[in-house]
Amino acid sequence: MAEFNVITYNCNGLGDKKKRQKVFTFVRDKLKSGFVFLQETHSTEKFEKEWKSQWGGNIYFSHGTSNSTGCAIAFSENFSVKIVSETKDCFGRFLILESIINDEHFILINLYNANTELDQLNVLELLASKLDNLDFENCKPIFGGDLNLIFDTILDASGGNPSLKKRALACIMKILINLTSLIFLEFVTLISSVSHSIVKTLDFSGAWTTFSPQTPFKNLLAM
């Protein structure tokens, strides 16, 4: 069985060289061996070689512009992976890599979702159409990124007046159901008030609500 670490990280822009070096160093130290889903990279094709050189391993991009969007999947140095296919959009919102790691097939899905619900629906519908074209039989999907929405107004939010983007949530649910109906995942459920009957079928878990369900998200910054 393949063993590796996976991190997801919103960079909030990597155009500045000093910041990029700090982020890359931080992520490499945490990652050890595996790969990271990066969102909001602000990457462009012009600087691919420079970024790859600074990272030290392989990076695959879905470019946005120099000041918005962009996502990437970066593999640690000397991590053995074969990329079978690469699928992405034109706006830096998602990247899908069909890969082989230690003779096991994985489909890596990195999503940097839009902000408004209308734009999210467009992104998610496009992502779903791309996933429909892939063969998930005997493959294990790894879905990560920045969804830009919450599943639970109590567990996933702190302060303000949070609301659920129900139509976007429905699209996310549909994608997850389609993925998990083909892949066996054990004993993981999402504790959520969105729809217990639907969510339990997903075998899906939000890391923050699972490992620290009673800790306000704002306290993460102090840890």
For 140-163, how does the pLDDT look when each residue is reduced to its tens digit (9 = 90+)? Answer: 899 999 999 888 888 888 888 888
Mean pLDDT, to the nearest integer, of 83-90? 97
How many Å apart are CA 130 and CA 150, to the nearest integer?
24
Here the tokens at position 121 are 């629906």
Residues 6+ apart with CB under 8 A from 151: 164, 169, 190, 192, 194, 199, 206, 209
Look at 24 and 183; give whichever has higher pLDDT: 24
pTM for the structure as a whole: 0.82
What is the reported pLDDT for 193? 35
Look at 160 and 192; give whichever has higher pLDDT: 160
Spell out the domain ranges in the chain.
1-115
pLDDT in tens, 52-62: 999 999 999 99
What is the reported pLDDT for 206? 52
How would residue 181 be classed by pLDDT, with cut points 50, 70 and 90?
low
Lowest mean pLDDT among 14-23, 28-37, 106-115, 149-158: 149-158
Look at 42 and 154; give whichever has higher pLDDT: 42
What is the reported pLDDT for 142? 92
Q: Are strands 34-39 and 71-75 parallel, antiparallel or unpaired?
A: antiparallel
Confirm if 152 and 209 have CB atoms less than 8 A apart.
yes
Angle at alpha carbon of residue 90, lines to 85 and 93, rounded to 5°: 85
Single-letter amino acid code for the residue at 20: R
Mean pLDDT of the chain: 83
* CATH node for 1-115: 3.60.10.10
